[in-house]
Structure 1
């Protein structure tokens, strides 16, 4: 594989992983904000507030990731979003809500695939 082809594969892998991770983080914060709005800012809505704070931190980190062009940082964020979406899918399944289980499960799998593509592109690049 030529150097330019390797670089373009790596670039595509980075931006695909970034896009999927951003979508995952934005969906996560959107649902967290919806839960806060539905429950209001009250002591009995603490779980939604904690979810919103977690999601806000992840969105901020994901949005600044391209500034550093660090594959390792993006992979770490992708792993974090995979865990978040995987747990959200589990919670949705336990609640018996197909929509709350299927959506996060799809995002979880998409993030795993995109992160694997990025990680493998690094191996291909280092083999050249």
Structure 2
């Protein structure tokens, strides 16, 4: 029986990550063009959105249970911190960048499993 994450993975393929980055960039640029955001705020929001997309895909496609738990925790903390204004966008983006470096999110993102028709066809598992 497929798990919740399996159903989400089949709905949001790993290949969608690039599309999400592009769409988020377009939305932020549009908001700046419409004068909804200024340059500084746009930079902060861009950082937060990119960090969130990176963590979300790392969470979805992680092959290590402890890493999956840490990614989930970071996403939850980020949402709560943003909601209550505990951290501003720039500071949170710096924290996420540090956490990503420490957890190897970039490495995990680079090793996202390749799936075709819902079946994993290749994955390099370097997580311990």
**Which interval holds the TM-score relative to the shorter structure?**
0.3 to 0.5
Which structure would you say has the larger Rg? 1
Question: TM-score by structure 1 length?
Answer: 0.37
Structure with greater strand share of residues: 2
Question: TM-score by structure 2 length?
Answer: 0.37
Q: Which has the higher contact order (CA 8 A, sep 6+)?
A: 1
